[in-house]
Chain A
Amino acid sequence: MMEANARIMTMPRQIQFIRRTAAVLLACNLIPGLLSGAATVAIAEERDDPALQSNDAQAEAELRADAERTFKKKVEPFVKKYCISCHGPRPEAGINLQSALQSPGATSSFLHWKKAVANVKLHDMPPDDADTIPTDDERRQFIEWISKLKYLAPRDPGPFVIRRLSKVEYRNTLHDLYGVAPSIADSLPEEVVGEGYLNSISPLQSELFLDIANKVIDQVVAPEGQPPTEVQKRLFGESPPRDVDLREAARNVARSLARDAYRRPPTEAELDVLVGIFDLGRENKLSYTASLSLMWKAILVSPQFLFITPAGEVDSKDSIVPLDDYQLASRLSYLLWSAPPDAELSGLADKGELRKPEVLRAQAERLLIHPRARALFDGFGAQWLGVNGLERQTFDPDVFPQMTPVLRKAMVEEARLFFESIVRENQPVFRFVDSDYTFLNEPLAAIYGLEQSVQGPTMRRVKLENPNRGGILGMPATLATTSFPNRTSPVKRGVWVLEQILGERVPPPPPNVPELEEQEQKNLEGLTLRQRTELHQSEPTCANCHRVLDPIGFGLENFDAIGRWREKDDVGVKIDAAGKLPNGESFSTPAELKRLLAERKADLARNLTERLMAYALGRQLEGYDEIVIDQLIVKIAPDDYRMRTMILEVITSYLFTHRKVKG
């Protein structure tokens, strides 16, 4: 960590300043009419650029003091003038800025500020009929002030609470260690990992862990009187000769079983417990092997196996500690492979080498280029793109008879192979949006109109000549995911682009109004989808957000609900994909929209970094995390925000390698 940060410190001040300014400029892109004010921001930033003194405690303290002053002297008057009459003690929409002003840096206030900023940014708040409306300049300042919120947070990597293996990790672990089929864990309840991972354990799960442990043993250990299986020999060793102390032999078996299963060396006390269970078997007239099986079963239902636990006792002095090497090995391996550390990683943990940043980085790189890193797509990429539900998503079979399981699978495979190629080739993040190749097989090529050139069921890399294709905006999997069963949804696509690709926070529709797509349905026959959807923009409650969302969605209307190109819409009217981004840049085809979005390199990279960090930590980001992300973005900017570089920075970050144990 120290080394990494030293590098930031020595980076030419000039470059950092440019990057920083660029980020601010890009962040303003969404806000109509704000670009003119950006120069002022840049000057303010130069005097007092926050990202520069990243790791210096004194600098952090100064920034904190500055942020406190800003909230007291600037944010408070703004809020009191424009917001407090509705968002005070009886808060509308649950946004209470009165309490947020009282303790601006508190975790509980964080979300109130985030929502406030999102609404002020989109001109959604204050409402158009309010007595006083802030000028564009005031809006911009408010956004800038609130961006200092993060400096109120003390240095904090967050807790890394002992974490239960997810279902996927659990079944992979059984498979890796004991060679059983991953389906052995199918009976466990389904769960999704990542930000907001449900790290709890219930009686149902414990019953199933015992049940599955029995199955594993049944499959691996040969019945009495039959020769041992290969795995059994590997786990239990050869039968000890008669003159050997069986307890001693069992202890050795326990030591090696537990080293793998606990992902760290067991303590002597832990071995005592296990040998006690071996004894229990012997006392009950079980054979040596059956007693070992009972002991092994105990390992498989132990918290040390089911949870990622620290190797040693926490030194009670410090409230923040680095992860020990074994924890780090597990955290890394489960992040990238959803599987336990392999021999090389375990060996480095044993030697205490893994905590060295260069070693950690090299290991992360090794894991990332390995085929098993597909787990990162399955756990993270698919969720990010929203394609993880595509195989179960409902499509109207009368309208889209092509949406067979084979085609759906090919669509998700395309997204996966594309994601993996960007990681493996360390391409810049913006290539997700703008690239000139993809992966197709024959059924999927038909969606692209390329069935003449791509034949057979095997997915292969294909160069694309059509500039409307290439990248996740023109990809059938994402286009289908953001559609209704029988037609496209420009609104959903607009939200998807803003939230998933650009990382904007789109305020939810006001409560108690019908979802907009449902307003589209009735009494509007004869209107094109665009005409119907544009009705949103004549509704005052909807207009402010929808004039941002809808044009983006309509820019993709040339793609139907399963991603085929079309010139005319469902009612036979020629598609008009022209529109403007809020900053005034106009586009008339998906290709042009794609190009405009691809230029937002910093926004794209920051969004993906934040999402990956939240996934890696298994929690939402807050407070201090933002400071770390800022530093990380500064680091990856000079080399065009490359994907694998970014992942490596996440893995070697302060947040990933430390944990709070107290307070």
Chain B
Amino acid sequence: MNLHSPINRRTMLKGAGVSLALPLLESVGWTAGVNPAKPPVRLGFMYMPHGVIMDEFWPESPETYHTSPPPAIESLRPILDQCLIMKGISGVPIAPFGGAPHALELSTWLTATLPDADTRSRINIAISADQIMANYVGAHTLLPSLELATMPQTWKENQAGLHEAYYSHCSYRSPTQPVPAEIDPRNVLNRLFGKQGQAGRVTTANPLDRQMLDRVLGGARDLRRTLARTDQQKLDEYLDSVRSVERRIAAIETRQKEAALEKAGVRTSKRDTNDSPPIEVRIPEGDKRSEYMQVMCDLNVLAFQTDTTRVCTYIGSTPNGVSYPELGFTDKHHSQTHHENREEMVRKVAAITKFNIDQFAYMVNKMANLREGDGTLLDNCIMMWGSGLEDGNKHTRENLPFIIAGTGGGTINSGRFLPDVQGNQGDLLTTLLACAGVPVDRPLGIATKQITQIFADV
């Protein structure tokens, strides 16, 4: 394992083979919002497949949550008062797709909706919670949303006739449009902050590109008129994605203008001068899983801290065969989850669960230590960690494990364990969107209500 040396802020991206103009980064801050004086709420999701060992995850009682938290969440101890754990959130009943528990644990996770049974061989599900948020706040930031993962989303396995992509995607921009995740940290850096072109030329946003794209879109709309209906729907996905690129270019232009003004001594950023400077990101060179997962966490933190996006979905691992050599065994995650209560396998699943939660803890602990406005970055975030199954051994979904860190700008009454909330996955997502300030005009998926116990008394 070739360990890298820490990189200071000024050179932080050089090690990654990319670089960025720091003044640009210095100036970034939230650029719009309902109340410009108040930092915006950011919403993040981090996923682990196959459920947990329940005895190791659920606190015994609301009291022991603080005094003797269960082993799985040990690494959250420093910020337990900023975390919320709820028992009683049930998953989507997957009855018509009984043979596809793993294809559905991820794809229903943020949609709270089953794939359409009649068209199961194609992708046809529902827009996911993160993309609903992105539709609402995405226009304010350089990227409408950020999707991260640690494995290529190319798993091919056909369960119950479902399209293979259900296995590896949880973000859906529309019912038929899964959003692929970025798995290379270098590419993420490029996306977030642009990069240095060849021969030292800094690639800047080209305003002509935006106008060019505008005309391409015009041409695409002409083409659309000549197409069959099914083709038109496909083209609509194209139009949507290109409009998003246009917005990104516009946002980069704004950043560049602000950077120029800052350089000339005119303050443009809404960031508080007391705010912590942007964090350092180190791209690991080896293949250690913890480091890989953590650099993706760092990128999530950096993207939120610099208000480059307000929505991030991070598939920490997928349901297809991740192994964790750092834990001293090479068994694939899934192979251990059908443990039938055999001690060694239970121990391994518990270790894998803790490992995943440790990475989440790494991320939210970091956020809790970054100053922003009157509080910390975490104060203004809603970071949800969870799994799509409760118990991987029996494929149960009655009490899905979730941890919600951050108070969403004071909207969430955190620091608690709620042992009996009685709601479902859709209820939870609907509630979190409401906390993030997204006006939800209809409940998400199977939701019937909001989970009011979450709300802080305002």
Contact = CB atoms under 8 A, between A and B. Distances in A.
Given A162-B227, A203-B244, A301 B213 contact: yes
A140 B141 CA distance: 63
Contacts of B152: 189-190
Contacts of B212: 277, 280, 294, 297-298
A303 interface: yes
Given A196-B165, A200-B178, A206-B245, A187 B101 contact: no
A199 B163 CA distance: 11
B177 A202 contact: yes
A518 B238 CA distance: 45
B338 A514 contact: yes
Contacts of B223: 270, 303-304, 309
Nearest to A313: B226
Interface string B170-200: 0001001111111110010011000001100
Nearest to A280: B211
Given A199-B234, A273-B222, A207 B191 contact: yes
A194 B187 CA distance: 26
Contacts, number: 200
B218 A273 contact: yes
Interface residues of B, number: 83
A206 B237 CA distance: 10
A273 B242 contact: no
Nearest to B220: A303
B78 to A, nearest CB: 34
A192 interface: yes
A387 B128 CA distance: 34
Contact of B230 (A159, A203, A273, A294): A159
Contacts of B191: 204, 207
Interface stretch (B5-13, B42-50, B117-125, B276-284): B117-125
Given A196-B163, A206-B242, A522 B118 contact: no
A651 interface: no
A187 B238 contact: no
B235 A111 contact: no
Contacts of A270: 219, 222-223
Given A200-B123, A280-B212, A303 B238 contact: yes
A91 B96 contact: yes
A512 B230 contact: no
Nearest to B117: A108
B208 A511 contact: no
B209 interface: yes
Contacts of A196: 121, 156, 158, 163-165
A292 to B, nearest CB: 13
Contacts of B323: 394
Contacts of B154: 190-192
B99 A94 contact: yes
B242 A192 contact: no
Nearest to B191: A207
B161 interface: yes
Interface in A219-244: none
A198 interface: yes
Contact of A294 (B177, B208, B342): B208
Interface string B79-119: 00000000000000001111101000000000000000111
Interface string B121-160: 1110000000000000000000110010000111010111
Interface string A78-104: 000000000000011110100000000
A306 interface: yes
B235 A515 contact: no
Contacts of A106: 118
B173 to A, nearest CB: 7
Interface string A642-663: 0000000000000000000110
Contacts of B143: 203
Given A190-B153, A192-B154, A302-B219, A96 B241 contact: no
A164 to B, nearest CB: 8
Contacts of A161: 230-231, 234
Nearest to B152: A190
16 contacts: A189-B152, A198-B165, A202-B237, A203-B248, A204-B182, A204-B191, A206-B241, A214-B203, A277-B212, A286-B208, A383-B156, A394-B323, A512-B395, A514-B338, A518-B345, A622-B121
Interface of B: 95-99, 101, 117-123, 143-144, 147, 152-154, 156, 158-161, 163-165, 173, 176-184, 187, 190-191, 197-198, 203, 208-209, 211-213, 215-216, 218-220, 222-223, 226-231, 234-235, 237-238, 240-242, 244-245, 248, 323, 330, 335, 338-340, 342, 344-345, 393-395
Interface of A: 91-94, 96, 106-108, 111, 159, 161-162, 164, 187, 189-192, 196, 198-207, 210-211, 214, 218, 269-270, 273-274, 276-277, 280-281, 284, 286, 294, 297-298, 301-304, 306-307, 309-310, 312-314, 383, 394, 396, 485, 508, 511-515, 517-518, 522, 619-620, 622, 661-662
Closest 9 interchain pairs by CB?
A514-B338, A273-B219, A203-B244, A190-B152, A94-B98, A206-B241, A661-B228, A189-B180, A108-B118
